[in-house]
Amino acid sequence: MVDERAQDDERGERPIGAARSRERDGAADDSHLVIITGCASGLGYALVRRYLDLGWTVCGIDIDAARMDERGREFRTRPYRGFVGDVADPSFVSRTARAITAIGRIEMLINNAGRPSFKAPVAYEAGDLDRCLTGLKGMMMWC
């Protein structure tokens, strides 16, 4: 099926926000799919709600199983799928990425997960840096 609203340019790219239509089970599906890490609370949770309101299919990822159960109940009638795990675990990333690509074409990744440190940079200790580097590793594995 050709999406007349947004044609790829000569480089195979499309304008930001342009839809890419695809067929699934014989019916046209114009929904967008976004992955949001760190989605069970705070900014990630707000992003999930916003993208659902915009009509996107949302795959949310968080390490907090109890909150993810709450989100699953809250969004049970919406195009939402939750995954519980550590975004810095290579095995989890591989399994989850395969499961998400089976849902549809990933159009956006919002790497929101992390454990921020609000210390002054001169107050950082080795453990603080290890947490930051683990978060960076997790972010890079999703790209």
Q: What is the pLDDT of residues 97-108, one digit of tens each?
A: 999 999 999 999
In this prediction, residue 30 carries a pLDDT of 59
**Predicted pLDDT of residue 119:** 86
Q: In the predicted model, is pLDDT for residue 93 greater than 50?
A: yes
Nearest partner of 64 among 94, 35, 38, 93, judged by Cα: 38
Residue type, 139: M
CA distance 15 to 34: 17
Give the residue with greater pLDDT, 131 vs 12: 131
Dump pLDDT digits (tens) for 11-55: 443 333 333 333 333 323 557 999 999 999 999 999 999 999 999
Percent of the chain with pLDDT over 70: 79
Q: Which residue has the higher pLDDT, 133 or 103?
A: 103
Q: What is the pLDDT of residue 83?
A: 97
Distance, in Å, from the CA atom of 57 to the CA atom of 82, rounded to the nearest integer, reads 11
Cα(138)–Cα(78) distance, rounded to whole angstroms?
A: 27
The reported pTM is 0.74
Instruction: Tell whether the model's pLDDT for residue 129 goes beyond 80.
Output: yes
